[in-house]
Amino acid sequence: MTLGKAKVLLDDFSSGAIKNDFSTLELAKKINVVVDTDLPPNDISHSNMAVRMLNGETFSYKVDTLRGSPLKPMSFDECAAKFIA
């Protein structure tokens, strides 16, 4: 399941990209952010996400290590492709 885009690049965070992407704006209206107090404070490498569907079904995903960190390194080819993109 993908919410929005499969890959996120720097240009995706520009105000123009956000304002002109109707599907992202509609999705943002449905998001409720809740701070997970069980996660380490000021730590950007951990996250928990849960998506509750209209039918009540819930999907969840947990990240403990960011892709590209020393604990979860990217290959040279992956780094080069991301740089080019």
Q: What is the pLDDT of residues 37-78, one digit of tens each?
A: 888 788 888 888 888 888 999 999 888 888 888 989 999 999
Domain-located, residue 67: yes
3: nearest Cα among 59, 54, 67, 70: 59
pTM of the model as a whole: 0.55
Among the residues of 1-85, which ranges form H helices?
15-19, 22-28, 76-84
Domain-located, residue 53: yes
Categorize the per-residue pLDDT at 18 as very low, low, confident or very high, splitting at 50, 70 and 90: confident
Domain count, the chain: 1
Range of the domain at 26: 10-84
Residue 2: predicted pLDDT: 53
